[in-house]
Homo-oligomer: A and B are copies of this chain.
């Protein structure tokens, strides 16, 4: 079944809240997200800044110990203006270079042409002129209610997903999250029309989005960190500081996955990953950083 859901209440934390909608395993939700400062498609601020989230959606049958597989069907801007910061984060450069960095505000403004699929820098005026980039819309925030009844800020991420700011969370990807609460309690928000690796200025092109997701419950899945697939790759996500630890989480989750589903023992998976693993840096800006570990599906045979 396909649900259309127009949100009116937004959370700035991933937590065990009363669901805004109950849906069945296999259903699809078409909804919208606000931008990171709480502005909607009409340019009205309708929620508090700091990644206000649409949801939570309760998925019937999802129990702690299961995984919730979320297929990203559509993410597309629904207005014609986005914004970005104008300063690389201080913790992403060598400490002595910090005094050279500009202020984060006033924000840079981007004109977004949803038909043409482009974003164009409007201000400030810089040597970039009217830089025009192809849209590559993605979800900064995606995840479920965390473990232990926590309510965790939508500024950060952990095992439950959250604000991972990985540009691979885009149409064509599906991601499984470990379920900690009855019904999983899915949240989505913080869409970016374009974003570089690492989200090093602390934003992508921030904009409100039309979003469509379908959900599948995987019973008894042993999923510890978000893991997913695209047409070409398996991927696992680790969220932590420093990057080294995020990479450890993602790599370990991949080893566990290769062992359980592809019958690769640690020798086989070591040899395979040693020659073929790919890493991406999701974000290196948020309180928890995100590293993604990828393996091409062409190299694998389901066991």
Residues on B with C-beta less than 8 A from A205 are 275
Distance A152 CA – B150 CA, assembled complex (angstroms): 5
Q: A242-B244, A274-B200 are in contact. Are A266 and B102 (CB under 8 A)?
A: yes
Residues on B with C-beta less than 8 A from A266 are 87-88, 100-102
Residues on B with C-beta less than 8 A from A265 are 126-127
Contact of A94 among B102, B121, B128, B249 (CB under 8 A): B249
Instruction: Tell me, rounded to whole Å, the shortest Cβ–Cβ distance linking A100 to chain B.
Output: 6
B196–A149 CB distance below 8 A: no
- Contact segment of A26-34, A55-63, A211-219, A276-284: A276-284
Residues on B with C-beta less than 8 A from A91 are 95, 244, 248
Which residues from 236 to 279 on chain A have a C-beta closer than 8 Å to any C-beta of chain B?
240-245, 247-249, 251-252, 255, 262-279
**Is A13 interfacial (CB-CB < 8 Å)?**
yes
Could you give, for residues 181-203 of chain A, a 1 whenever the CB lies within 8 Å of some chain B CB and a 0 otherwise?
Answer: 00000000000001111111101
A84–B197 CB distance below 8 A: no
Contact of A150 among B13, B87, B126, B147 (CB under 8 A): B13
Distance A267 CA – B200 CA, assembled complex (angstroms): 13
Instruction: Tell me, rounded to whole Å, the shortest Cβ–Cβ distance linking A189 to chain B.
Output: 14
Residues on B with C-beta less than 8 A from A204 are 274-275
**Is A124 interfacial (CB-CB < 8 Å)?**
yes
B150–A268 CB distance below 8 A: no
Q: A93-B251, A247-B243 are in contact. Are A121 and B271 (CB under 8 A)?
A: yes
Q: A94-B248, A127-B264 are in contact. Are A274 and B201 (CB under 8 A)?
A: yes
| 14 cross-chain CB contacts under 8 A | A12-B148, A84-B275, A85-B270, A86-B267, A88-B274, A91-B248, A92-B247, A96-B98, A131-B272, A150-B150, A196-B278, A200-B251, A201-B273, A279-B281
Known: A85-B274, A205-B275. 16 other contacts (CB 8 A): A86-B270, A87-B267, A88-B266, A88-B270, A99-B99, A126-B267, A128-B271, A131-B271, A148-B155, A195-B275, A196-B273, A196-B277, A200-B277, A201-B271, A241-B241, A243-B244
